[in-house]
Structures are given as structure tokens and as C-alpha cells.
Structure 1
């Protein structure tokens, strides 16, 4: 017997993902266990918490009322409704419950979602519009306590259950999420957030079932007693593009929300297997956003000092800081100095190997360590100008950082025809951060090591720019879903790296920010991210200067009479 079942376009994908969850979870657990030992502590992250209860691959959307923990906002701080996770059939009921608790208060919604159930997204949009709420795309990072955390008493007596900070960096609203987003009265998407759409498809599955029926004969008559299913097999399926009925329904909904037809046109033109990020100018034209503002207009601490204060501000007098006691300065006393903020931005240093095995004939390189910032490319270009036309390899260790800057760095590296390896540079003797430490020729003594090195998030994009690219077998390199998917794909093709290196944005239920996938050496080689199985020693090891032809990062033979080692004065 053959029967048809109509399921959403996500059904088959979910079943496949559920099978992958244990594998990914094991990989993530192993990576997390070693993370503290592998990566240097670029900054103190203990204050901000990204809740583990939301870090699994199948976490549904959860709502929480959050109060800003920004410095200086108390006792009058902005509050918002955080909406994080995938949209499911029961999500609208959750939002209704939280709005009922808030009563007449109208808090904006800050959403971060890969998409999900289309019908539920439409319901959410209508609930948001009915309650006349604003909405923005952003991520909420909780401080101390987070939803689902058991027995957390850190916020007791503070007047709010959850405190945190919202930002648009790497936030997303994809697939069905823009339908929910369209319900906002005021709608904003920051420059670092990702809003994308794609085709909505319908899949019909054909199922074959075999039944066993039990009969009983009474006085010559046969009566059916039971019927039970013995086997049930899927014997095929067929996927259809957006139906006319669904298109008409979505068109009516967007018109109801005051959003232009252009959104639906982009959805229809984008395959279900892909995602199309809509540019801010296009979103304005389509009336999907109501201004060029970012979520700062909803969550910035200073908004509550306006008169009148926005509706999402709430004053808690008990949270006001007590007045500071006047301190009389005592002559001769030295005031305690506040520690200077740690600058974790990427630093570039010229290095000459101090490995005793190379003697005087030692390789040189550029060490690049720290977080990629918008100024990284400018600083690197200035350093390259100091070495003339020499092509010194770049030895990198970075937790990631600014995506657009990483793209620019990769192109600059390729333009200068530089090799790149992932390793950490350990300085011996005089260190760049030491005051008064300036070697006469500009090269600091050091050695490159795999121990403690890493390349995460946007760092592999920078690595891809190298002409030759090497990563030691024990060096962790991990990737995550990133915004600007089209730009990244174009860049990777330009660098002869497979375009599917990074997990795509449309992976519903994939925790794009918190869960990172570690790349194995074989995978990096297959994908073209590395050009060989060697480590950084292939470029800056103690014996490279003995090779023929002589590498460009080895000093000229005439210079070998001069001691390349710099010894600081005692």
C-alpha cells in the first residue's frame, strides 16, 4: 500500500543532521577540552557567557527579557527581548507567554536565528505587529546567568533575571526568519549582521507500508480483530519549488506588513540549497528595514538619558551606585595605577631564528600574532615597506577577528607572493613588548613552534592568501559560518581554495557562532587550504638555509660574517 505524506522542505535535512549531531558533538567536545591549552588567552572572557544550553545544533528559539549590563547605564537601563535559535511550531506560543508577563511594556526584540518553520514565522510576525514592537538582528551575550542555567543566584536583588550586551557582529536572520522580522514596526539590520533568504520548497515523500490483519471466524463468519503495521519504508520523494498558493500567501503577508514585493522575488530566484544576503540599500528599497540605523538605537546605554526616555528603559533606584567617598591625598603617597587595557590586536614583528642548529645561517620571517582588526592590513603594509622587495614568510597565530580585514590581508599576501604557515613565535631574550628593546637590525631572535598556535574563525581566510600554505599536524585550525558568504566564496575561488571550506549560513540549527568545526590535516589538503603536509619548519626551520636554491628568507651570504643574533645588554 502506497501513501503520500506532505512534509516541510526541512524534514529530510533534519533527519540527516540528527545523525551528524553525535559526531559533531564529540569533535566539539574534544576541541573545547584542549582549547585553553592550545590558544593563548587573548582577553579575559569570563564576564560574558554564551550559554551552553543554546550551543547544541538543534536548539529551538528561546525568549528572554534582558537588561543591559553596559557600564554607566544604571539605575536607568534599556531592556529587550532576546530571541535566539530556530523557529519551531511552538515558538509563537512562547512569545505570547512572555508578552503576557510584560503586560503593557513594549520591549524591542533582538533576534538571531537561522530560520525554521515558515508558518510559525508568519505567526510571529503578526504577533510582533499586533503588539507594535520594534525588531533588530543581533546576538545577546549574557553576563553571569543565562536562560536554562540552574540555581544561578548572581542576579538576585538586582531587579532583573538576566543581564547582558547585544551586538550585531556575526548575527543572522536567515531563511524563514526575515518573515518574522517583517512584523516589526521599526526594523533595523546593522552592518555586521547577515539577513538572507532563499527558495521555499515542498517535498512529497512516498511511503510503502505492509500490514498484518488478524481475523476471527465465528459461526462461519470472518471478523477483523486487529490490523497492525509490520514494515514502513520510504520508496522515494519529489521536491517542488514554491507553489502558487504559497507565493500568493507570502505576497499577501509582506504586503500586510508594508514590505515590498522585491523580497519575494529574491527568495524565488535563490535555490533552496543556497542563501542570498540582501544588501542594506536593497533592504531599504524593498522596505524590509525602516532605516539605516543599527540596534544601538534600541540597546545603547545612553538612550535612557534622553527626555523622555524610550519605552524600553526601566529605572531601578536600588541599582544606583553609592556616592564615592572623598579621599584626601597624602603628600608623598603614590596613587595606585589602574592596569592599562590589554591590546590583543595583531602585531607584526621581524624575526630571525635563534635556533642553535642553524648557527649564523638562520632563516628570517614575519611573526603575526593576535586578533585581526580593521587596521591590520594598514599596519602590515607599513611593515612590508621596511623590508623592500624581500619575500619573508608570514608565521601566523590568531583567534580570528575582523572578516573584511582578513579578506584584505589575504589579497595583500597573495599580491606580494608571500608564503604562510600557522605557528607561534616564541621570542628569546629581548621581546618586542619590552621597553627599550630594539635590536640594531630590526630582527628579534625567536623560534617558531606548533605548541600553543592556532587559527580560528576569520584566520583561515588570511591563511588562504599564501602562495604556499602549511599547517603542522597538531595545530588546530577551525572554521565557522561567516557573514558575506558570496564575497567569501568569490575570494576562495580566487585563491584556488574550494568554496565550501566554510559551513554555509543556511544550515538551520547549526550554531554558527559558538560551534566551530576543526579541520583535519587531510581535509585542509583536499580543500586546497594547505599546499602540503609540512609544518612551519618547512619555511623557517633551522636547516632551510642549507637548501639549494637558497630561500629568499635567508640572509645574503655576504652578511653571514655579521653575527645575526642580538643579545640584549645586561
Structure 2
């Protein structure tokens, strides 16, 4: 001990009292969406790779994206930052496939994605040629990109902590073939035994700490909890609000045990704003993105090396002003007939409708007008079943439907007794007897354009509606706007590769405004609708004698 005397003589103090103290008091929490008592094997740590589409015919301008596959660890955000730095400000979408991992890291990744205004999709990336773990691969040298591949949704997952990363995207898509699941957070509390060296001085008999330094750390054990604490819940809720995602996601996490996974349905994710549309990964990675004007931000042109034989596919010829009619040899031109339902549930007051079946042609609007003129002011719903056809014919028919304020549904009409196109089949009073079958209904190619004209528009869950690019985009854009259908329908059409069709799910059709509800054609043609109040306009009473006369004989 050394004694010091201050010059003013008022205070005596001592310096040099050193003590060692051990504390078992430092306890901190590490958050992870784990499901087992011991750390689960979530596979390789997430790696980030910039991938260029290898789709045939997309060169020299192809879409690119960041493939993010593997488990989320504490160091993952730093790896992602490094990838973004290499890109130098290019905004490429992220395609993620992850079982989950560290929650803190997932939040950091989400914030990085939002800060850089990136889109994100759940999907796998199938690489062609060089793989990320191949150190000396020279297969793609001179081609302007290191990795080539294709993104697809089938079998991709985003579980546990991964949805928190997904929440950071500007546009966020999962699709029906990918799997997104949530559950409770596992919090691991780690006890650490610390040994300090403390230096203090005594002033007027009281100790005053001058310095305190940790000289050793020892692990004193850990324990886990499988229920979200109030503090953690508050932090996650604040993050989701920051990202514009509903708290329904948090509720789903809380109600699902850490030992299981709750898969969220596409419509539930849309309702909770975890996804921004019901599209899949091809919305962000399809080669057709680079054929639009302007091209998507993630498209990049790589000219062929000088002297090389260019193997790029020639671009398709520009769409003509009059698009070619898509016809199927087994389907004739669209015909319109009046149909009345037949059931003991409705007789003698049953619904009636207009059956529209066949290929849409340039003559379709005029044929529809002629039939409508025969029924005067009656407004009967249109039940359509068509593979498509002439685009301009569909636009004209759609405008006529809207002008007459008709409802439209997709379904097939099954006729009872005889088919309208049979020579020996004659309808009494021009009205055939039948019923609608949702499961056999189709509406493809130009048919959705005609459907858009309806006041109420329904495509049941078992009916099938498909789209593909058709040209005349500016004209269709104006028409769909007039019909109050959102631009998402045209986006869906553009995302489909040439010569292919894309089926739209009910939730997607509702979101873009192509349909006005999730009901089927039975909403317009079901046998019990004529018992409701007010009675629909397409119900008509016939006399009991007429019903009995038309009824089939029973043996």
C-alpha cells in the first residue's frame, strides 16, 4: 500500500488496492428457431451466389439473381453484405431456400434486403456447370458470368427464422409449390463465469473503483426455453410492423410448438401481407422479363465474345396488329344457347343462363348480340367454357357483356336429354335443360379477356383458367383498366414463356381483380338460388304441368 498526500493537505488517499472477484452472474440470450434440445443439424451455412439464367434463347440479355441457400447463422449477414458490395448497387432479387436458423441474423438480413430495396422469392436454384464449391472450375470462363442456372419453386422451403428474412423484401413471393413454415422461437440462455481485476482507491475511508477489467471467462452452462418472452415478442412485432407485415405471422409462430412446423397457406400469407402476391419465383427470374420494354432491373446484356459463333436464339417476330387466333381442332366456334336448370330442389322456379362454349372468333360478339336481342331486357348470367381464340373478338365480346351488365362464370354445361348441336335435338321455347359442372370448365388464352367483361366474375376452385402472352398489350391494358381489372393480369401473362400456359389460382385471380369472388358457377346456376330473397333475375317460374310434361319417365 502506498500513501499519497495531496498538496492542499485536505485529503489522504491510497492507490494500489487490487482485488480479484469471481461472478456467476452474466447471463445472455441467443435466439434461434431450433426445434431440439441439442443444436439441430440445419445443414450447410447459407451461401450467396449470383446466378444468370441458363434458359434457352434468353441470351444475350438474361435475368440474374442472388441464390441464398442454407441455414442462417450469426455470420450470414456479413456474407450477404460482401455479396451486395461486389454487385456495386445492382438490384438483383434474392431467391432463398433455407430451413431457418439464427433469428437475430434473419432480422439483420431482412433489414439489409429492405435497405437495398430488393425483391425476394422462395425457390431453389439448379446450377448448370460450375458449382460454388468447385475452386478451379473454368467451364464458364469468358461467358461474362460465373454461375448459370434455373430457379424453380418445387420443393423449396423457407421455415423457422427464414420468413423473418423474407419479410424484408419489397416484393415477396412464395407460390403454391414452395413451403413456408413457422413455429415458436427457441431461446438459449448461456451462463458465463467471469473473473475481474478491480483497481480502486480509498477516499476518506470509502472505496472508489478506478478500473475494472475481465481477466477470464468460463462457460457455466446453459438452458433453453421454448416460449416467446414478452421482450422478444415486442421486438419481433416491431420488426414486422417496420416491414409492413401483419402480426398474424407472429400469432402463428406463438401458437405452433417449437417441435413442429405450421405451413402457411398462400392465401393466409397474402392476408397477413407476408407475401405481396400469389406468384412464384418465376415472377422475378423468368427469361421473358428481359423481353419487355423496359426490361426488368435484374436483366443484363452480355455481348458474345469477338470471333465466337453466336448461338443465341433469334428473338421471336414482333406481334402483328392482328394476333393469330389460337384454335383447337377438336373445338368448334363458340355457340350460345339458353339453358334452364332442372332439379326437384327448384321446380317449378329454376335458374336460367346462357351457355357459351367453343373457340372465340371474330364472329363471337355478333352471335352473342343476336341471342341477347331474343331475350329482351332479361339479364341472364353467361357460363363460359372455352380454350381461347381471337383476342379482338374476346375484347369486343367482353365490352358487350359489360354493356348489358351480365355476370360471367367459368364452367361446363351438361345438357339433359339432347345436345344443342344434334340435328334431332329441339329445345322447347328455345330453352335447353341442363346443369353446370365446375370441374370440367376451362377458360384459356383469350377467354379470360372475355371473362373480364362480366359485372360479377367467378371461377370456381375446380375450374381451370390459364394465361399466356398474346400481344396487343397496350390495347389490352386500356380494356382491362376499363373493366376494373388490375395490371397484375398482364404481368402474369408476360411472365409465361412462349408456347406455354400458366394456370392462375383462385386467390391470384381475386387479387388482380379478374374475379370478384371465390365462389363457383353454382352462385348463378345452383338449384336453390331461386329460394333466396331477393330472388335473382335469372329465375323463371314455369307451370307445374309443363314441368311434369317435360319430366323424364321413371320405371
**Superposition TM-score tier, normalisation by shorter sequence:** 0.3 to 0.5
TM-score (norm 2): 0.45
Larger Rg: 2
Q: TM-score, normalised by structure 1?
A: 0.44
- Greater length-normalized contact order (CA 8 Å, ≥ 6 residues apart): 1
